[in-house]
Chains A and B, each alone.
Chain A
Amino acid sequence: RHSHLLELLKRTTVHGESNSALIIGPRGSGKTALLNHVLEDLREMNQVRENLLEVHLNGKNPFLSGLLQTNDKVALKEITRQLQLENVVGDKVFGSFAENLAFLLEALRRGNRTSSCPVLFVLDEFDLFVHHKNQSLLYNLFDISQSAQTPVTVIGLTCRQDILELLEKRVKSRFSHRQIYLMNSFDFKEYIKIFKKQLSLPAEFPDEAFAQKWNNNVQHLSEDKTVRDVLQKLFQHTKDLRSLHLLLMLAVSAVTTHHPLPTAADLQEASRQHSSDSRANIVHGLSVLEICLIIAMKHLNEVYDGEPFNFQMVYNGESNARASQTLHRSLPSNYPFSLPPTVTEFQKFIQRKAHSMYNFEKPVVMKAFEHLLQLELVKPLERPSARAQREYLLMKLLLDSSQIMEALQVYPNCPTDVKQWAASSLSWL
């Protein structure tokens, strides 16, 4: 693949042949790295260096941070800037998009194969250019690459596998259908090798003795059972090398002068951090009252198989009948059955456990509920409107029961009866 791309670009620069290609691969598979590598190789060749003009769109350039060229107009301006054609523009102000396009096309049309400097267009996040109106930028770029004008090579980088289906038929016909697929096709052994290579110090590190020691340690680590387990787990989750970098960063950041070499335990800790569930972490920080509310919601979810609920159902302070009424009012008419008394979960629990907890006022419980709403552990089905009372807004719980149980396990000083109540579902009745 590397040689293919290198060959392609070399032909553009040396022979002035126009080309177009797409580099497709999932995120973190090294598309940009490949391209940069090839460009570096190209620049080392004397002949090429002076001859190639590069235009990078969307990323790559230090001044651009990706996804910048949101429409063709901005893209054209950027191309003009990167081709350094502004000096020709001079004091002429580009009024309209149309003028701009005509100007650029004119510029590119003037050249021919043998005398003009080849131009390399790199379109990062190629799939976003596809959504531009009429795809006219792509059409024009590909059209130039298919006609006897300035030699042009268009390289698109994208992670979408279905990119060709997004191209309009005329644009597609003009694209050369040269696709370079990048896949993380390595297996676990290679993964370990990559791990070692990433972590070991390079030969030109100034303190040789330390480098030696460090590298030996890395070698040991790679053979260690626990480290392998950690890596295996990550490998099974994702082959993206960026997540490996992230994991190693976490581990290496534990290194201090007193603790000069990373250990297996560091890695394990890093892995734990890396793979922890963010929502469960939020639950850790909740008050007992909020946990109780969540448990009540979990029970409701189990009873009604994930149907939405409202605050009144969770907190039923007055009577079952009232609750069922409100529910009937607020739910669609096709709601299958009348409400059983279980809606009063929370109330019952509170009543029974009155000796161990305060009997909370309803507004206090409401406040706790709203806090959950803000944390997005609970999400309203529709946008809250001014008309509807907050108590009767239909909600959904954004936590899985396993997450709740897990969070309860590690919750500090959790009252036992709360835990019991959480564990007991329908049987509790």
Chain B
Amino acid sequence: MNTRQQTKLIYSWYGKPLSSDRKLRTSQYKGIFITSESTKTETCIQLGDFILVEGVNADQPYVAQLMDLYEDGAQHKRAVVQWFCRLEEIPQNKRKLLKREISAQEVFFDQILGYDTDIAAETIIKSIMVLPLHLGEELPVITLNKEQTFYVKQSWDGKCFKVLSPDTFSKLKEANKKRGVITNTSKAFVPSDILTPVKKETDSVLRSATKPKNVDMEIESKHSASKSSLAKERHSQRVAKNDIKTPTARKKLELSSPTRSKGRLLGSEVLGLLDDDCDAIAPLKTSATKRKVKFTSDTSGSPPKIPCSNDKAKSTSETAEHHQRFSDTIRLSPYTRVKDFSGKDKNLHEKDDVLSSVGYQKPSSQSPVLTPRSRRACAQKTSALIAEQISLLESHGKLAAEEDFLSGSDSSYSSSSEEEEDDDDVPCTPEKKTKSSRVFSTPKSSRKSAVHTPVKTVKKTPSQGTPRTPRNATPEIPRRIQAAQEPASVLEEARLRLHVSAIPESLPCREEEFQDIYNFVESKLIDGTGGCMYISGVPGTGKTATVHEVIRCLQRAAENDELPPFQFVEINGMKLTDPHQAYVQILEFLTGQKVTATHAAVLLAKLFSTPGPKRKTTVLIVDELDLLWTRKQNVMYNLFDWPTQKHSKLIILAIANTMDLPERIMMNRVASRLGLTRMSFQPYTYKQLQQIISSRLKGVKAFEEDAVQLVSRKVAALSGDARRCLDICRRATEICEFAGEKRTPEIVRMAHVIEAIDEMFSSPYANAIRNASLHEQIFLKAILAEFRRAGVEEATVQQIYHHHVALCRMEGLQSPTVSEIMAICSRLGACRLLLVEASNKYLHMRVRLNLGQDDVMYALREE
């Protein structure tokens, strides 16, 4: 999948334009070639094929069906697709609607209208398989290339899941059939191969002179192994699997390739016809396997290593009838492909063989070419097993042959489907295994099938790692044992409502700002473009609350389909440990990936700069923007650069305290990208504060009107911080409650509010000085005296000490020792009444007052 990143791909049209529109200057095509420059391989994708499209997450490309291909006026290659959506794309909260486990291979027929179905053809990665299934069905065997095959059972329209309508189902099925045809015709497209089929074939046979032996030995070993212990089988199986990767193994596969085409048919056909009669499948399958057997006996000719090759040949002829019969029935059916197959039986053998040898000659072919084959290889492998089984059966007795044979293949099919099940839910493999073995009539064949399952499970369990604790365990604070009490009195109710955390239904006094931000984001959403907005204001003016309210409203609108859906990401500079962590958080919000900061920056840049077809608009809130400042400012630069990109679909709402932040700390290029859309939240006036409090207290009579006004006037004069205002009111209710326990006034009056305000805004210094000990006070006096003498607001302890001693003498007190003076000095320093130097200078330590001289005098005089 990463090939696209490494090699340059060239996209070119396949064939002539089907039709063209003069007016729009568009022309439609029926297929597209993807040519890789480095490996010189090309794949053809045609209308109706299923494709992977590059997505947000590099590991998870989108699944789609190609509906239309055209070239627009500007010579850009475009494609129209029908989307499928993966489970990951469905919101977490909707997933539980499914009420069942979903495998990674299952996709949903996407009926969400919001997505752009018109994409650039260059984003197509490769073709894949999407097979429709009925709801109750199990997913069939997927052997090797899990990424290549998907299954669709239900459709998803953004709100609920529906079973595929028969119409779409048949359409999808047909698309699969068609795909079979197309791939074959595309093979026929390579002319040289067809021209010299015989020669090539002999060539290949010659080259693969030793191959049959290989195969036979393989089978032989497996056969013998089946008699021995299970573990051994497993081992040999693994060996066999390993062999696949080696060239000889590949040759082996090619040798038996006639089944390959059939095998693929199996893949698509069998699965497609699952609902059909079982009998109809069985012959098909056997015929396929027979074909293979016949082939091996043909090419290998004499090698008598297989104990019952004669029997086999016989069985071949027998099953050939079956096959013939089946193909007859098939002929009636609309699948012309099958007919074609069975008709040119021998021909196909040759052709396929040739093709495979051609394929072999190009071992460097890229994954799109490679993958189908390996898949086939697997299908073929199972068929090889079946064939062996058949041969064994036949050697036992011809009489029961046909019946057993049918049932055997039948059961082998069911076993394969059960294997599929095993793949799906690994933990319960042992049970399944026994079950599958019970199905089989003969013990040997059962063991055979068992060969498959253990290997699978052994391979799978460690990779999935289910027994371990899930990686993304969400931490949680323990639940409380007793429920929280509900407020009992009016005051408690009022206090609850006055808490800053309480979310009001509306935000009074911020209607205008709300509307501005809402309009901004809404217009960008509708246009599908990006943009920045800078919001400033002193703390506690409702910036973050307003923005969140806007997002809430927009989300509601999006849910009601009034707006296109969007993603909402929030980062807070204060909650990041490092500005670069912003990238990591954004990426994690968007795609769920966890990567390092530098990598995240690269991924995000790619994400926002390339045209993503199925991407929603992202609304990003950057709170406490000033903390994202770095020396080179690259975090800010990137953040504000992305929205200016053409395809970014990113809306940024940046929040900070200072109005002139862009001018003050940002470089010109950053500030210019931020743009001029700015909004500043003015501090609340006292009327607004009053309104805020009364709106929160609506329906609760807890405050006197004047008391509210006093609070709001006081706060408005100081900072206009709504938080402060609410805190004072809350404190006032407490004071009221505390004072009112005797007479129960139950309403907050002026006196309470004044007390609360005094408590919060009183300067602590005077009180601290008044409560200091006598010598501490004398020390402060000595400081004042020294300051007055020297005329400098700084003195050493030694100087102050002399004054102190003099003052003590005047008061008739015993003068303290130097150690005591030092202790006094450090105590006052700890309270920060004084600012003192480090104490290792002892007597030469310099001392300053941390408050005005007048304040000290005032505090001292009052005594």
* CB neighbours of B818 from chain A (8 A): 277, 279-280, 400, 403
Q: Which of B449-500 contact A (CB under 8 A)?
A: 468-469, 471, 473-485, 487, 492, 495-496, 499-500
Query: Across the interface, do B844 and A276 meet the contact criterion of CB distance under 8 Å?
Result: no
Query: Across the interface, do A98 and B584 meet the contact criterion of CB distance under 8 Å?
Result: yes
Tell me which of B479, B624, B767 contacts A115 (CB under 8 A): B479
Tell me which of B657, B721, B764 contacts A161 (CB under 8 A): B764
Tell me which of A18, A106, A236 contacts B474 (CB under 8 A): A106
* Chain B binder among A178-186, A199-207, A420-428: A178-186
Known: A18-B501, A97-B577. A400 touches B480 (CB 8 A): no
Q: Does A228 contact B (CB under 8 A)?
A: no
Tell me which of A88, A89, A97, A276 contacts B817 (CB under 8 A): A276
Query: Across the interface, do B484 and A88 meet the contact criterion of CB distance under 8 Å?
Result: no
* CB neighbours of B738 from chain A (8 A): 3-4, 7
The distance in angstroms between the C-alpha atoms of A143 and B468, with both chains bound, is 35
Query: Across the A-B interface, how many residue pairs have beta carbons closer than 8 Å?
Result: 222
Q: Does B417 contact A (CB under 8 A)?
A: no
In the complex formed, the residue of B with least CB distance to A174 is B723
Tell me which of B503, B574, B773 contacts A239 (CB under 8 A): B773
The distance in angstroms between the C-alpha atoms of A162 and B501, with both chains bound, is 27
* CB neighbours of A162 from chain B (8 A): 832, 850
User: Which 9 residue pairs of A and B lie closest in terms of their CB atoms, listed nearest first?
Assistant: A173-B539, A107-B475, A183-B771, A16-B484, A277-B817, A236-B774, A117-B480, A148-B501, A98-B577
Known: A15-B487, A276-B817. A235 touches B773 (CB 8 A): yes
A-B contact pairs, 24 of them (CB 8 A): A15-B496, A26-B830, A88-B474, A89-B475, A102-B575, A105-B575, A107-B475, A110-B477, A115-B483, A136-B575, A148-B501, A148-B503, A170-B574, A173-B721, A174-B723, A176-B727, A179-B760, A183-B768, A184-B773, A235-B774, A237-B823, A239-B773, A399-B843, A403-B818
* CB neighbours of A170 from chain B (8 A): 539, 574, 624, 657
Q: Which of B605-628 contact A (CB under 8 A)?
A: 624, 627
In the complex formed, the residue of A with least CB distance to B468 is A91
Query: Across the interface, do A236 and B478 meet the contact criterion of CB distance under 8 Å?
Result: no
Tell me which of A51, A172, A379 contacts B482 (CB under 8 A): A51
Known: A161-B832, A237-B775, A280-B817. A88 touches B765 (CB 8 A): no
* CB neighbours of B484 from chain A (8 A): 14-16, 113-115, 151
Q: Which of A1-40 contact B (CB under 8 A)?
A: 3-4, 7, 14-18, 24, 26-27
Q: Does A392 contact B (CB under 8 A)?
A: no
CB distance from A180 to the nearest CB of B (A): 9
In the complex formed, the residue of B with least CB distance to A164 is B764
Q: Does B662 contact A (CB under 8 A)?
A: no
* CB neighbours of A50 from chain B (8 A): 480-482
Q: Does B562 contact A (CB under 8 A)?
A: no
In the complex formed, the residue of A with least CB distance to B799 is A306
CB distance from B492 to the nearest CB of A (A): 7
The distance in angstroms between the C-alpha atoms of A104 and B482, with both chains bound, is 24
CB distance from A362 to the nearest CB of B (A): 28
Q: Does B759 contact A (CB under 8 A)?
A: yes
* CB neighbours of A240 from chain B (8 A): 827
The distance in angstroms between the C-alpha atoms of A173 and B816, with both chains bound, is 44
The distance in angstroms between the C-alpha atoms of A376 and B841, with both chains bound, is 10
* CB neighbours of A280 from chain B (8 A): 817-818
Q: Does A85 contact B (CB under 8 A)?
A: yes
* CB neighbours of A139 from chain B (8 A): 574-575
Query: Across the interface, do A90 and B473 meet the contact criterion of CB distance under 8 Å?
Result: yes
| Most interface-central of A24, A136, A170, A279 (chain B CB within 10 A) | A170
Tell me which of B471, B759, B830, B832 contacts A179 (CB under 8 A): B759
* CB neighbours of B831 from chain A (8 A): 26, 159-161
Q: Does A96 contact B (CB under 8 A)?
A: yes
Q: Does A119 contact B (CB under 8 A)?
A: yes
Q: Does A147 contact B (CB under 8 A)?
A: yes
CB distance from B495 to the nearest CB of A (A): 7
Q: Does A278 contact B (CB under 8 A)?
A: yes
* CB neighbours of B798 from chain A (8 A): 306, 400
Tell me which of B765, B767, B816, B844 contacts A275 (CB under 8 A): B816
Q: Does B581 contact A (CB under 8 A)?
A: yes
Q: Does B705 contact A (CB under 8 A)?
A: no
Q: Which of A277-294 contact B (CB under 8 A)?
A: 277-280
The distance in angstroms between the C-alpha atoms of A97 and B723, with both chains bound, is 30
Known: A101-B575, A237-B820. A110 touches B832 (CB 8 A): no
Query: Across the interface, do A27 and B819 meet the contact criterion of CB distance under 8 Å?
Result: no
In the complex formed, the residue of B with least CB distance to A115 is B479
Q: Does B335 contact A (CB under 8 A)?
A: no
In the complex formed, the residue of B with least CB distance to A110 is B476
* CB neighbours of B473 from chain A (8 A): 88-90, 92
* CB neighbours of A7 from chain B (8 A): 734, 738
Q: Does A83 contact B (CB under 8 A)?
A: yes
The distance in angstroms between the C-alpha atoms of A188 and B734, with both chains bound, is 33
CB distance from A87 to the nearest CB of B (A): 10
In the complex formed, the residue of A with least CB distance to B471 is A92
Query: Across the interface, do A51 and B476 meet the contact criterion of CB distance under 8 Å?
Result: no
CB distance from B824 to the nearest CB of A (A): 7
Query: Across the interface, do A236 and B585 meet the contact criterion of CB distance under 8 Å?
Result: no
* CB neighbours of A174 from chain B (8 A): 539, 723
| Interface flags, B563-583, vs A, CB<8A=1, else 0 | 000000000001111100100
The distance in angstroms between the C-alpha atoms of A88 and B472, with both chains bound, is 10
| Most interface-central of B501, B581, B727, B728 (chain A CB within 10 A) | B501
The distance in angstroms between the C-alpha atoms of A103 and B472, with both chains bound, is 10
Query: Across the interface, do B760 and A177 meet the contact criterion of CB distance under 8 Å?
Result: yes
Query: Across the interface, do A88 and B476 meet the contact criterion of CB distance under 8 Å?
Result: yes
In the complex formed, the residue of A with least CB distance to B724 is A177
* CB neighbours of A47 from chain B (8 A): 482
Q: Does A150 contact B (CB under 8 A)?
A: yes
Given contacts A146-B501, A147-B500, A236-B813, 13 further A-B contacts (CB under 8 A): A15-B485, A18-B501, A51-B480, A51-B481, A85-B475, A110-B476, A118-B480, A148-B503, A238-B823, A279-B818, A379-B841, A398-B842, A398-B843
* CB neighbours of B842 from chain A (8 A): 279, 376, 379, 398
In the complex formed, the residue of B with least CB distance to A105 is B575
Q: Does B293 contact A (CB under 8 A)?
A: no
The distance in angstroms between the C-alpha atoms of A26 and B818, with both chains bound, is 21
* CB neighbours of B485 from chain A (8 A): 14-15
Tell me which of B482, B540, B574, B832 contacts A140 (CB under 8 A): B574
Query: Across the interface, do B475 and A237 meet the contact criterion of CB distance under 8 Å?
Result: no
Q: Does B731 contact A (CB under 8 A)?
A: yes
In the complex formed, the residue of B with least CB distance to A72 is B577
* CB neighbours of B844 from chain A (8 A): 379, 396, 398
Q: Does B776 contact A (CB under 8 A)?
A: yes
* CB neighbours of A91 from chain B (8 A): 468-469
In the complex formed, the residue of B with least CB distance to A116 is B477
Query: Across the interface, do B805 and A83 meet the contact criterion of CB distance under 8 Å?
Result: no
* CB neighbours of A90 from chain B (8 A): 469, 473
Q: Does B13 contact A (CB under 8 A)?
A: no
The distance in angstroms between the C-alpha atoms of A89 and B471, with both chains bound, is 9
In the complex formed, the residue of A with least CB distance to B492 is A15
Q: Does A317 contact B (CB under 8 A)?
A: no
The distance in angstroms between the C-alpha atoms of A376 and B843, with both chains bound, is 12
Q: Does B92 contact A (CB under 8 A)?
A: no
The distance in angstroms between the C-alpha atoms of A327 and B169, with both chains bound, is 105
The distance in angstroms between the C-alpha atoms of A102 and B813, with both chains bound, is 60
CB distance from B522 to the nearest CB of A (A): 26
The distance in angstroms between the C-alpha atoms of A280 and B817, with both chains bound, is 9
Query: Across the interface, do A173 and B476 meet the contact criterion of CB distance under 8 Å?
Result: no
Q: Does A111 contact B (CB under 8 A)?
A: yes
The distance in angstroms between the C-alpha atoms of A107 and B473, with both chains bound, is 10
The distance in angstroms between the C-alpha atoms of A88 and B475, with both chains bound, is 6
Query: Across the interface, do B843 and A400 meet the contact criterion of CB distance under 8 Å?
Result: yes
The distance in angstroms between the C-alpha atoms of A69 and B478, with both chains bound, is 24
Q: Does A413 contact B (CB under 8 A)?
A: no
The distance in angstroms between the C-alpha atoms of A159 and B723, with both chains bound, is 26
| Interface flags, A355-379, vs B, CB<8A=1, else 0 | 0000000000000000000001001
CB distance from B721 to the nearest CB of A (A): 5
